[in-house]
Amino acid sequence: MRLLGTLQQRARAQLPRAHYDYFAGGAGDEQTLRENAAAWRRVWISPRVMVDVSRVDPSCVLLGRRLALPILLAPMASQRLLHHDGELAAARAAGAAGTVYCLSTRATADLAEVAAAASGPLWFQLYADRNREHSERVLARAAEHGYEAVMLTVDLPVGGRRERERLHGAFPFPDGVALASHLGSRAATSQTPIGGWDCTLTWSDVGWVRAASGLPVVVKGVLSAADAVAAVEAGADAIVVSNHGGRQLDGCVPTAVALRDVAAAVGGRVPVLVDGGISDGADVVRALALGADAVLVGRPYAWGLAADGEDGVRDVLDAFAEDLRLTLALTGCATLADVDADRVRLAAW
């Protein structure tokens, strides 16, 4: 969509280079970052005609909640680097659009502050901390403040080799911007991450997250059928096919390519979501046809937030919603359930 390109250009012009690169960049040579977007374009939509599409309904039900559209806002760290209202603005915009906002562990606003500002459903994204008690306290607070699910990110046992970040080195946060600890009044915020990522995490920890939060657990960062099965067997309530927006293992499979096998292995037992390079309504329809129940977008709303705060994120979600409706109608689908595997043809990967 042209809007996304325009917003990205504005973000690039407005932001300090180090901040822009932090959001835009990927790992290594950024092959996976590029291929995430390109792979969707190798999936051709195969429309049906002569279908009554006078009423197109893009709503879906996810973890028992009806959403106005199957497009959620992915967790992204440090959103106050993009706009002074950061996570609060993005959460408000998601609520206005009738969809979920996923708050990052590495947010620049406390989870209670975001819950107070939001009008729609919230999920809390967890990077498990090496200090398990710390994570348990954060999860208990998330549940207390009405977060409806925990999104457990499993593709970051260690940080990827992000060349752009290495080039700029550690950049100081502007005055008044810091990472929230999510521990409440007892703990301060920080310029650097609290604790560290837990690279000892295994499938048995899905149960630990559920017990600590009492919430459904959405496992984010699965790229293989074997891991999808392991996640379901470990008790995941949903799975996200994701390669972290190409920021972790460069050269790993684009999500559009991984999705079909994962969805087949899951076999409808739990919802399957996907993210990475999704940039218009056609990509959403492609994802649904390949077996996803919903998608998440990251950078597209980052650019909206940087360009125009809450209004910018609203513009992005409105544009996605309008384009999804149009694409569904032109594909001959009145509802998301009509988007089946026959609606796509695969060019050679």
Ligand X SMILES: Cc1cc2nc3c(=O)[nH]c(=O)nc-3n(C[C@H](O)[C@H](O)[C@H](O)COP(=O)(O)O)c2cc1C
Q: Which of 112, 87, 83, 56 is nearest to 284 (CA)?
A: 56
Per the CB < 8 A criterion, the answer to whether 300 and 279 are in contact is yes
Residue in 19, 83, 182, 244 annotated catalytic:
244
| Shortest separation between residue 51's beta carbon and ligand X, angstroms | 30
Q: Provide the minimum distance between the beta carbon of 81 and ligand X in the complex, in angstroms, as a whole number.
A: 9
CB of 244 to ligand X, least distance (A): 5
Name which of residues 2 to 31 contact ligand X (CB under 6 A): 22-23
Q: Single out the residue of 58, 70, 216, 245 in contact with ligand X (rule: CB under 6 A).
A: 245
Cβ(133)–Cβ(198) below 8 Å: no
Q: Pick from 70, 90, 92, 68: which is nearest to 81 by CA?
A: 90
* Interface positions, 219-238, toward ligand X (CB under 6 A): 220
Smallest gap from Cβ 258 to ligand X, in A, equals 13
Contact region with ligand X (CB under 6 A), list: 1-9, 69-77, 134-142, 306-314 = 69-77
Decide whether 248 or 327 has the Cβ nearer to ligand X. Answer: 248
Q: Is 275 in the site for ligand X (CB under 6 A)?
A: yes
Size of residue set near ligand X by CB under 6 A:
23
**Binding track over 138-167 against ligand X, x by CB under 6 A:** ---------------x--------------
CA distance 308 to 11: 9
What sections of the chain are H helices per DSSP?
2-14, 17-24, 31-40, 86-97, 111-117, 132-144, 163-168, 205-213, 225-233, 255-266, 281-289, 299-331
φ/ψ of residue 297, rounded to 5 = -125, 145
Q: Under the criterion CB under 6 A, does residue 298 sit at the interface with ligand X?
A: yes
Confirm or reject binding of residue 297 to ligand X (CB under 6 A).
yes
Residue from 58, 276, 291, 312 touching ligand X (CB under 6 A): that is 276
Counting other chains too, the contacts that 190-194 makes at CB distance below 8 Å and 24 or more residues apart are 193/106, 194/129, 194/134
Instruction: Name the minimum Å distance from CB 109 to ligand X.
Output: 13
Length in residues, the chain = 349
Rounded to a whole number of angstroms, the minimum distance from the CB of residue 9 to ligand X is 17
Instruction: Pick the stretch among 59-67, 197-205, 244-252, 259-267 that binds ligand X (CB under 6 A).
Output: 244-252
Q: Return the closest-CA partner of residue 302 out of 288, 313, 286, 287.
A: 313
Nearest residue to 220 via CA among 349, 100, 323: 100
Based on the shown chain and the rule CB under 6 A, indicate whether residue 248 belongs to the binding site for ligand X. no
Write down the least CB distance from residue 180 to ligand X, Å.
Answer: 12
Q: What is d(CA 257, CA 263) in angstroms, rounded to the nearest whole number?
A: 11
Which candidate, 76, 67, 63, places its Cα nearest to that of 95?
67
HSE of 303 in the Cβ direction (CA atoms, 13 Å)? 22
Q: Which is nearer to ligand X, 152 or 336 (CB)?
A: 152
Cβ distance to ligand X smaller for residue 33 or 56: 33
| Cβ pair 143, 213 in contact under 8 A | yes
CA distance 187 to 57: 45
* List 77, 140, 225, 334, residue binding ligand X (CB under 6 A): 77
Q: Taking a C-beta distance cutoff of 8 angstroms, is the pair 219, 152 a contact?
A: yes
Please identify, among the stretches 47-55, 161-169, 272-280, 326-334, the one whose residues bind ligand X according to the rule CB under 6 A.
Answer: 272-280
Per rule CB under 6 A, is residue 284 in the interface with ligand X?
Answer: no
Distance CA 326, CA 34 (A): 26
Q: CB nearer to ligand X: give 71 or 339.
A: 71
Q: Which span sits near ligand X by CB under 6 A: 46-54, 88-96, 182-190, 297-305?
A: 297-305
| Residue 244 appears among annotated catalytic residues | yes
Binding site for ligand X (CB under 6 A): 22-23, 36, 74-77, 104, 106, 125, 153, 220, 242, 244-245, 247, 275-278, 297-299
Residues recognised as catalytic: 244
